[in-house]
Amino acid sequence: MRKTWTEEELKATVAAYLDMHSKTLDGIPFVKKHYYAELATRFARSEKSFEYRMQNISYVCVLMGRAWVSGLKPAKHIGQQHVPIIERLICELDGQPYMGHAVFEHQVIQYKAKSMRPLPLGTQEPAQRYASTISHARDPQVKAWVLVTAAAKCECCDEQAPFNTANGEPFLEVHHLRTLAEGGSDTVGNTVALCPNCHRELHYGANKEARRDALYQKLPRLIRE
């Protein structure tokens, strides 16, 4: 069995993974094993190898702050060379600019695991990066409505906004439960007001799906998309 993964194999695996993720969002049933079998036949690898590689993709998604496919628990044992390739392919297939977020966070995790941590020198003048980004037009009335309705309390944990801004406004972050990049709507039925902690948890937390489900149960206005 070949050990080296070609870019063609990785791209096909990422494409299959993103297709499963899209179907999950749209409520379309699918069988993961069918994807593994098709890839195994096409590239002469075992189905198990594709399943594990998709768990690596879940890990990269977590580092990027993206949702990952349920049942494909993130596996962080991944070749250093594969992280940037997988991140780039995810961005490419999703039509998003590659920023290297997953690569950076993966390196952070690796450095944290080292027993000896000498004082890093850092960079006095970090190089600037330029990248074109895709943005979505948003309705300010939707954001205003959600913030007013939240009444300065996080709609997830019910805690007061952690501070007031310089303009005297309670600081809460507005989050789309199905992101705009995933085709989600900019409506009050898809939007919640969160404290920074809950917002980050809904992006990176191990229990983010449970937190998301709890919001749907808690707030009658929310509609699954």
Residue 128 lies in a domain: no
Q: Counting beta carbons within 10 angstroms of the beta carbon of residue 83, is it exposed (0 to 12), middle (13 to 18) or buried (19 or more)? A: buried
Q: Which residues on neighbouring strands pair with residue 175, listed in sequence order?
A: 192
User: What are the DSSP calls for 17-81, one per residue?
Assistant: HHHHHHHHHHT----HHHHHHHHHHHHT--HHHHHHHHHHHHHHHHHHT----TT--------TT
β-partners of residue 194 are 173
Give every CB contact of residue 200 below 8 A, 6+ residues apart in sequence: none
The answer to whether 83 and 102 have CB atoms below 8 angstroms apart is yes
Could you read off the pLDDT of 142-174 as tens digits, one per residue?
Answer: 888 889 899 999 999 999 999 998 768 899 999
- How far is the C-alpha of 172 from the C-alpha of 133, rounded, in Å? 24
Does residue 109 sit in the same domain as residue 146?
no
Which residue segment(s) compose the domain that 145 sits in?
140-218
Question: Which two structure tokens, joined as six digits, stand for 42?
Answer: 């096409």
Same domain, yes or no: 147 and 82: no
Tell me if 76 is assigned to some domain: yes
Same domain? For 23 and 75 the reply is yes
CA 19 to chain centre: 15
In this structure, the answer to whether residues 31 and 104 fall within a common structural domain is yes
Q: Tell me the pLDDT tens digit for each residue of 37-85.
A: 999 999 999 999 999 999 999 999 988 888 889 899 998 889 888 999 9
pLDDT band for 135, please (50, 70, 90 cuts): low
What CATH number is attached to the domain comprising 164? 1.10.30.50
Which stretches within the chain are classed as H helix? Answer: 7-26, 32-43, 47-64, 82-94, 101-113, 140-150, 196-204, 208-218
Please say whether the beta carbons of 21 and 64 come within 8 A: no
Res. 89: pLDDT tops 90: yes
